[in-house]
């Protein structure tokens, strides 16, 4: 997912290295036809989500990438990987911006389910950054978080209302990492710019 999105950013002016990376992606897909998404009819019907961010991952402009995924039970229903609009000044800020994006997607999914007569409250969003979790729970803006743009603080409102809650998950179990990380350094070097 991440590699496809990264290469897509160069489609207006591709280089030979980008073609090589795309061929590697196609080879991967050709040899993994049995991998896919499975949707079970007897899965639990609880909404939960994961988010992650890489801090300054783009070598060209030093912007971070947000990645989120949302599940209904064991079924993946929504996901995205997107470069953040501004340069994050800390890992906490990069994760907090990703948390806001994930929260917005969760609220949209909750509204869609509500339209179908299904009410879900107190959605768990899992994160591997304790500082971002603490920032979302603290209604007082300290000097250490003043650089985070105000538009991302709507997350706090929804935490206070009980619409969502952030929960720590260790990095090894972070599902959203696939949306922000490269296969290997060698693979990503092909898309980074030569």
pLDDT in tens, 67-123: 899 998 888 888 888 877 778 777 788 888 888 888 889 999 999 999 989 888 888
Instruction: Classify residue 22: in a domain, yes or no.
Output: no
Q: Which residues span the domain enclosing 89?
A: 40-183
Asked if residue 84 is part of any domain, the answer here is yes
CATH of the domain at 145: 3.30.420.10
pLDDT of residue 176: 79
Q: Smallest Cα–Cα separation from 105: which of 155, 30, 157, 65?
A: 155
Torsion, Cα of 158, 100, 108, 179 (10° steps) = -140
**Domain assignment present for 92:** yes
pLDDT-derived band at 145, boundaries 50, 70, 90: low
Is 135 part of a structural domain of the chain?
A: yes
- Split into its structural domains, the chain has a count of 1
What is the 3-state composition of the chain as percent helix, strand, coil, each rounded to the nearest 5?
A: 45, 20, 40
Three-state DSSP class for 125? strand
What is the distance between the alpha carbons of residues 163 and 145, in angstroms, rounded to a whole number? 23
């Amino acid at each position: 997912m991440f590699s496809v999105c990264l290469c897509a950013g160069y489609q207006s002016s591709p280089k030979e290295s980008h073609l090589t990376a795309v061929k590697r992606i196609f080879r991967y897909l050709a040899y993994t036809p049995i991998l896919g998404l499975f949707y079970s009819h007897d899965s639990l019907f609880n909404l939960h989500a994961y988010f992650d961010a890489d801090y300054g991952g783009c070598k060209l402009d030093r912007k971070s990438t947000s990645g989120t995924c949302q599940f209904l039970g064991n079924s993946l229903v929504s996901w995205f990987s997107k470069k953040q609009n501004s340069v994050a000044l800390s890992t906490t800020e990069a994760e907090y911006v990703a948390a806001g994006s994930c929260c917005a997607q969760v609220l949209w999914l909750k509204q869609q389910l509500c339209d179908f007569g299904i009410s879900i409250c107190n959605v768990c969003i899992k994160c591997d950054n304790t500082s971002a979790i603490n920032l979302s729970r603290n209604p007082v803006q300290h000097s250490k978080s003043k650089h985070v743009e105000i538009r991302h603080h709507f997350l706090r409102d929804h935490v206070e209302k009980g619409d969502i809650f952030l929960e720590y998950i260790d990095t090894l179990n972070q599902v959203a990492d696939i949306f922000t990380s490269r296969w290997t350094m060698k693979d990503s070097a092909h898309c980074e710019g030569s």
